[in-house]
Structure 1
Amino acid sequence: MAGALGSLAGAGVVAAAVTGAGLFVIDRTSLPAFTTSNMTQALTTLLQVASLAVITAGVLLLRRDGRSRRGRLFSWAGLSAFATVTLAVPLSATRLYLFGISVDQEFRTQFLTRMTATAGLHDMNYADLPSYYPAGWFWVGGRLADLLNMPGWEFYKPYAIGSLAVAIVVAAALWSRLIRADLAVMTATAQAAIVLAYGSPEAYGAIVAVLIPPVLVLAWSGLRASLRPGARRRTGWAAVIATGVFLGISACMYTLYTAFAAFTVVLMALAAAVAAAYLHARDAAVTGRTPAPLWRRMLAPAALRTAVSPLVRLAAAGIIAGLIALIVWAPYLLRMADHPTVDSTAMHYLPESGALLPLPMFNASLLGALSLLGLLWIVLKFRASVRAQALGIAVAAIYLWTLLSMAWTVLGSTLLSFRLEPVLLLLLGAAGVFAVFDIARWAVGRARLYQPAAVAGVRARRTRAVITVLGVIAAIMFAQNIPHVLQTEISVAYSDTDGYGERADKYPPGAAAYFDEVDAAIMDQVNTPRDDTVVLTTDFPFLSYYPYLGFQAITSHYANPLGDFAARTDAIKQWTEARDADEFLSELDSVPWRPPQAFIMRTSADGYTLRLSADVYPNDPNVKVFTVTFPRELFDSQEFTKTEIGPFTVIVRK
């Protein structure tokens, strides 16, 4: 146990050091924007090839000696360098991460900015509420940003890249505790490429996703340990404890992936319990004189007692996970107990991909071929391989979750099954690597058949060399295409205006260029700090760059259910209908939440406008955006000051 923890910690330290050094160097380059020059792509490919060369050297060293320290160091350093250059070089000329400050990255950046301004687990937007979305990743990032004296939004990119690199290398170290060292590195390399291509835009989820495959293999080995002939009672408990710790930490990071992983572990425990009862019933049939039917023997008290062990282990893992999760979830759960109604629309989203079963193994691509090999390997090896059983149960769990999500639509919600597609790719990708490894071993064995010893050795070495070269070429082929998979995400990072009012592609900046003046106008007129000042605006990038509290959230889907999103929207609409400034002020003070101290609105011919949103699930898109207008006379009071800044009107209540 101590050795495993030391290995994981060592992997994390190496990854953090390599990534930190890489980001430091890349940040000081003057590369052209990825969207305007092929030079950045060329350097990305060059550095990817160099990283894969280091990984290959590590694999070869570990193949000769599975305990090679140099082999581990090379593989860890190569993996972290690969993750770093694949994302950091294409983004080198922008301060923003993938998707910039648009789409979902808007509220994620707001969350990190909030956690940079405060050490408490406060809601990313609303005043006086605990966080609803798990704050673990954002809290750590916020504390690091505060320590480095960096704005949260600017720290987002290096933090996302760094945490991804660390998670990828830790996954490699975890795989090495489960399978032979060289195979572990190859598996981790494939998973790194997959998660960078298909999970990196949501970095805080990707660091959980990349660990799910090895953790589920670990979980299955721990749950079924009592089924082994002659197994001791303590056998497998370390794996059970590790599973509980992972589930607890992931619950502090990403709810959906945690729910899926827990769902899969429950299925594994039930499968292990049934298997235990079956094995006991089968053995009873061998020793008994007149055996009863199998199902009756499985329900016998003695058989049921053997089935209890996996369930006890499941309960232990659940208790550990729950206690760790309370670190983040306790404030919200305690507040929820005092709230009369909790209405969440977080699961109200059904895109086309959520209405279909994901079948990546039939895509005409390298990843599709790897996924198909993985599926075939799981089926063929399921009876004999613990890894195949674990990955097979996990893949089945994804399809079961997807079908349940489709059925859940009848109840007015979903289980967001489409977000599990990166996890499915990781599971099938890992199985695909195992399949390729077995095929390579078979090919080497065939090369030795019916040959004299000297000739057999030469042919085997040549076969290994050919397979190694093909594997490296396939890795390069997939890796160099990752920036093209992320083309849209990278383009937005260059076209969005950052917190300093600049666009990385050198085109004229957007309205965010005025945010520093807006901030100064507010701070000059209020006597509260930014992170305790409530602002009503629907130009939400402002709240992503500055840690003000928002009176309203971006959409109901990302709003804290305790924040009464719909009621706040109704209140805003009611304010626009006030007859005069006195009635408006009275209504502001009568709401059950802290009222806005400042308004940031756009100017129109009829007054001042805000763009609000409403949930329209099951429609796709699931959000309806509409505009409300405040008549100018509502602010004709000495309690308000108005400042025109660019396209904005900043109104501060004294």
Structure 2
Amino acid sequence: MTTNDDVRVGRKIATGVAEGLAAALVALVVAAVGLFVFSAVQWPAFNSSNVTRALTTVGQVCSIALLAVSVLLIRLHKWPVVAKLASWVGISSFVTVTLGMPLAATKLYLFGVSVDQEFRTQYLTRLTDSAALRDMNYVDLPPFYPAGWFWVGGRVGDVLGLDGWEVFKPYSIGMLAVAAAVALVLWTQLVRADMAVGAAAAVTAMTVAYASPEAYGAVLVVFIPPVLVLAWGALYRRSGGWGAAVGTGLFLGVAACFYTLYLAIAAFTVVLMAVIAAGSAVYTRRAVARRRTIGARKVGQGSTGDGSTVAARPAWRAAIAPLTRLAVIGTIAVVVALVVWTPYLLELLAGAKMPSGNAFHYLPQSGAQLAFPMLEFSLRGGLCLLGVLWLVVRAGSSRRAQALGIGVVAIYLWTLLSMAATAAGTTLLSFRLEPVLLAVLAAAGVFGFVEGAKAVYLALNEPARLRTAAATIAVLGALAFAQTIPTVLTHEIDTAYTDTVPTETVDEYGTHGERGDKRPPSAVAYYHAVDEALLAQTGRPRDESVVLTADTSFLSFYPYFGFQALTSHYANPLAQFKARADTIAAWSELDSSAALLDAMSRAPWRAPDAFLFRSDGDNYTLRLAEDVYPNDPNVKRYTVAFPKSLFTDPAFTTTEIGPFTLVTVRR
């Protein structure tokens, strides 16, 4: 039987979904228009001029002004539709201008195609070339790293007719703008509308500043604080809460499809919430039963007054409700996760052996100590400190404070577990959770600021003046922090301008390459010629050839498969990275072309169709990597030298292209 409460909850969910879709559409239009306008002008490079920095500040001021107008209209209870549109446009334009304007004169996203961004670009290139769920590097293997964000980006690139590396920047910025706007809608379903705008804006600013280089993780970070509030609402209440449980399960499922580590910390927090909720329910049930028993004894009765004995109601049954909702959340998450993980799981069930991977073998200094941003003397530190104070003061009376507080505790527990795991020869990559911690504390800081300001002006009995003063401080703080974001991301932005991309046209230096800062390109400028030679000599499409090369950024621009990945940390565990490295070394020690061809034919994996070497005297060289954890850095580079005499057989075709030597294999 449907109750009025069920109808009300159903309408609220339907309204939230509709507003979420509308906000996503608005954010998509804002991002698309903004990025198009930015690209239509020939801007100077960010690392050689302050023009784009100045224009970024102007755009941020306009965006924050829209958010302030939205809050004002909400507080005045005027023009609710305009207020919503202003908040959606404001938060999405903030993301677009803060990331898009500094990168306006380059085709690359933060970090260019360097370090970790190299394999991410390779993944997007792979899934732009084909919608099939395939490993980013290895042929005939399902993906191990979650493909969700990259698959969607690949479809965007395919629709727009862009290569994977070209769509990376606009897709990353647009997706984060959409995520920020939808997260704002979620906040409005959980807290008062004006506070929702403030919380969403603070979380978004922290995310852009500290999580945006990992674009596929940033879209989850903006959701984690409101999802924690949603999850606690589902688990703590004694009845109902099924809509919140479904929403939490959907988020965890999407997280499993996007970023495994953020899934892990979110799931860990939700389980911790369920344990606390179950324990609290049992404790409360026992306390109530104890009081009723004492009351019954006083009046000489053996019942609770409602016809049932106290003994007939075991306290442990109170834990059933939160644990049942936890089971529902987990079931939904698993079903959604299988959309991406099914091919890999089927490969394992088919008998594939998974050696111990090295993905967790990284321990920088930041992962060996606890982060306390709330103790920094900075705007960031001040907001986080306000958040901590609010979490402590309101822990017993606010569900929001409880939810966010459990989230903070979970992050610190995960960090300690990661440190303890080093004794077992691994880590839990806790250093990557600092953006999540900052986002949660930022949301708490906004609530602390609002409630603290209210307490002050009520105590002083001057609400009008102090409200204006508090609002002024909030806006000034937001502007001051916002304009520091490009400074925080200086290295990432500079790399986007100094990295080279291949081009089909010849540039002013006579090469097929281009840097955002218009300086002479690197060896990447010869990739276009390498690609043309490969296509001509193999006679096959790119995704039907396997290339062995140490210049793995080549695979980020062109969807060839690689015989070996950049490092073992990003290699598919099913690919047997160490065994492949040993095989490459063994090939280099053979004494003839015939022996090499024979060894390649007997390899347990598909042998290379081409080698892309560097030349060094009488040898062709590959500079490869091996895991040396627990050392920091955790990667050691070493050189494998192939005598040129190994490639004298007619089966090999050798072509010199700039600093490269391309050797194709005729089969």
Shorter-normalised TM range: over 0.9
CA contact (8 A) 1:285 1:291 kept: no
2:70 equivalent to 1:58: yes
1:258 corresponding residue in structure 2: 263
* Aligned 8 A contact 1:398 1:420 in 2: yes
Structure 1 equivalent of residue 285 of structure 2? 280
> What SS class does the counterpart of residue 515 from structure 2 fall into?
coil
How much has 1:298 moved relative to structure 2?
13
Mark the CA change 1:301 to 1:498 in structure 2 (over 3 Å): closer, same or farther. Answer: farther
Q: Which residue of 2 aligns with 1:587?
A: 599
The gaps in structure 1 that reach 5 residues or longer are 227-232, 450-458
Query: 400, 406, 419: which is aligned to 1:406?
Result: 419
Amino acid at match of 2:223: L
Residue 623 of structure 2: SS of its match in structure 1?
Answer: strand
Deviation of 1:212 (Å): 0.4
Partner of 1:347: 360
Q: Which residue pairs with 1:3 in the alignment?
A: 15
Q: Name the aligned partner's letter for residue 538 of structure 1.
A: A
Gapped regions of structure 2 (runs ≥ 5): 1-12, 298-308, 504-512
CA distance in 2, matches of 1:606, 1:412: 41
Alignment correspondent of 2:56:
44
Residue 641 (structure 2) pairs with residue 632 (structure 1): no
Note if 1:176 corresponds to 2:188: yes
Contact 2:269 2:410 in 1 (8 A): yes
Instruction: State the alpha-carbon separation in 2 of the partners of residues 62 and 261 from structure 1.
Output: 31
Instruction: Tell me if the contact between 1:277 and 1:303 (Cα under 8 Å) persists in the aligned partners.
Output: yes
- What secondary structure is seen at the aligned counterpart in 2 of 1:595? coil
Task: Check if 1:462 corresponds to 2:474.
Answer: no
CA distance in structure 1 between the aligned counterparts of 2:310 and 2:621, rounded to whole angstroms: 69
- SS in structure 2 at match of 1:265: helix
SS at match of 2:48: coil
Does 2:436 match 1:416? no
Residue 66 to residue 142, structure 1, CA distance change in 2 (3 Å): farther
TM superposition shift of 1:66: 8.1
Shift of 1:471: 1.0
Gap change, CA 1:332 and 1:300, over 3 Å in 2: farther
2:457 to 444, 461, 475: 444
Give, in angstroms, the shift of residue 464 of structure 1: 1.8
> Are 2:393 and 1:380 equivalent residues in the alignment?
yes
Aligned amino acid, residue 411 of structure 1: A
Cα 1:299–1:608 shift into 2, 3 Å: farther
Output the CA distance in 2 between the equivalents of 1:503 and 1:298. Answer: 77
Q: What one-letter code is carried by the residue in structure 1 that aligns with 2:527?
A: F
**Which amino acid letter does the alignment assign opposite residue 97 of structure 1?**
Y
Secondary structure, in 3 states, of the residue corresponding to 1:596? coil
Is contact 1:612-1:627 (8 Å) kept? yes
User: TM-score when scaled to structure 1?
Assistant: 0.95
| Residues 66/424 of structure 1: CA separation in 2 closer, same or farther (3 Å cut) | farther
Instruction: Note the 1:131-530 alignment, pairs <5 A.
Output: 131-226=143-238, 233=239, 235-289=240-294, 302-337=314-349, 338-447=351-460, 449=461, 459-500=462-503, 501-530=513-542
In the TM superposition, what are the counterparts of 1:590-629 in structure 2 within 5 Å?
A: 590-629=602-641
Q: What residue number does 2:3 align with?
A: none
How far apart in 2 are the matches of 1:340 and 1:206?
33
Q: Is the contact made by 1:268 and 1:393 (CA closer than 8 Å) also made in structure 2?
A: yes
Q: Per-residue displacement from partner, 1:192-218 (whole Å, max 9, x unpaired)?
A: 110010000001001011100100100
The alignment partner of 1:525 has SS state of helix
Q: Map 1:51-90 to 2 at 5 A.
A: 51-65=63-77, 68-90=80-102
Q: Kindly indicate whether the alpha-carbon contact (under 8 Å) linking 1:606 and 1:629 is maintained by their aligned counterparts in 2.
A: no
Are the counterparts in 1 of residues 502 and 526 from structure 2 also a CA contact under 8 Å?
no
RMSD: 1.6
Name the count of aligned residue pairs. 633
Residues 93-132 of structure 1 mapped to structure 2, 5 A cutoff? 93-132=105-144
1:599 CA drift (Å):
0.7
TM-superposed deviation, 1:442: 1.9
Does the 8 Å CA contact 1:278/1:298 hold for their aligned counterparts?
A: no
Determine the C-alpha separation between the residues in 2 that align with 1:150 and 1:216.
37
- 1:66–1:181 Cα contact (<8 Å) kept: no
SS in 2 for 1:523: helix
Provide the C-alpha distance between the structure 2 equivalents of 1:646 and 1:276, rounded to a whole number of angstroms: 71
Alpha carbons of 1:66 and 1:577: their partners in 2 closer, same or farther (altered >3 Å)? farther
Distance in 2, Cα, partners of 1:560 & 1:290:
64
User: Cα–Cα, structure 1 residues 559 and 298, in superposed 2: closer, same or farther, change >3 Å?
Assistant: farther
Q: Quick one: percent identity of the two aligned structures?
A: 54
Distance 2:343 2:169 in 1: 29
Q: Are 2:655 and 2:662, in contact at CA under 8 Å, matched by a contact in 1?
A: yes
Code of the residue aligned with 1:158 in structure 2: it is P
Q: Distance in 2 between matches of 1:300 and 1:221?
A: 29
**1:29-59 C-alpha deviation (Å, 9 max, x unpaired):** 1111010011111111111111111111111
Deviation at 1:506, TM superposition (A): 1.3
1:598-632 deviations in Å (ceiling 9; x for gaps): 11110001310001111111110011110001000
User: Per-residue CA shift, 1:218-242, capped at 9, x if unaligned?
Assistant: 000110111xxxxxx4x11100010
Deviations 1:548-591 (A, max 9, x none): 00000000000000001001101100000111000000011111
**Residues 162-171 or 462-471, more deviating:** 462-471
1:3 shift after superposition: 1.2
What is the alpha-carbon distance in structure 1 between the residues aligned to residue 193 and residue 528 of structure 2? Answer: 52
C-alpha distance in 1, partners of 2:516/2:151?
Answer: 28
> Mean Cα displacement is larger for which, 136-145 or 464-473?
464-473
CA distance in 1, matches of 2:345, 2:530: 36
Residues 323/37 of structure 1: CA separation in 2 closer, same or farther (3 Å cut): same
Q: Per the alignment, in what secondary structure is the counterpart of residue 448 of structure 2? A: helix
Question: Distance between the aligned counterparts of 1:372 and 1:51, measured in 2?
Answer: 26
- Secondary structure of 1:652 counterpart: strand
Taking the aligned partners of 1:102 and 1:517, their CA distance within structure 2 comes to: 21
Q: Which amino acid aligns with 1:153?
A: W
The residue number in structure 2 matching 1:642 is 654
Query: Which whole-Å CA distance do the structure 2 matches of 1:580 and 1:278 have between them?
Result: 77
Preserved CA contact (<8 Å) 2:67 2:91: yes
Residues 289, 310 of structure 2: 8 Å contact kept: no
For the Cα contact (< 8 Å) 1:601–1:649, is it kept in 2? Answer: yes
Aligned counterparts of 1:343 and 1:649: Cα–Cα separation in 2:
34
User: Does the 8 Å contact 1:534/1:548 carry over to 2?
Assistant: yes
Deviation at 1:527, TM superposition (A): 2.6
Structure 2 counterpart of 1:333, which letter? L
Residue identity opposite 1:342 in structure 2: P
Q: Does structure 2 conserve the Cα–Cα contact (< 8 Å) formed by 1:280 and 1:298?
A: no
**TM-score, length of structure 2 as denominator length:** 0.93
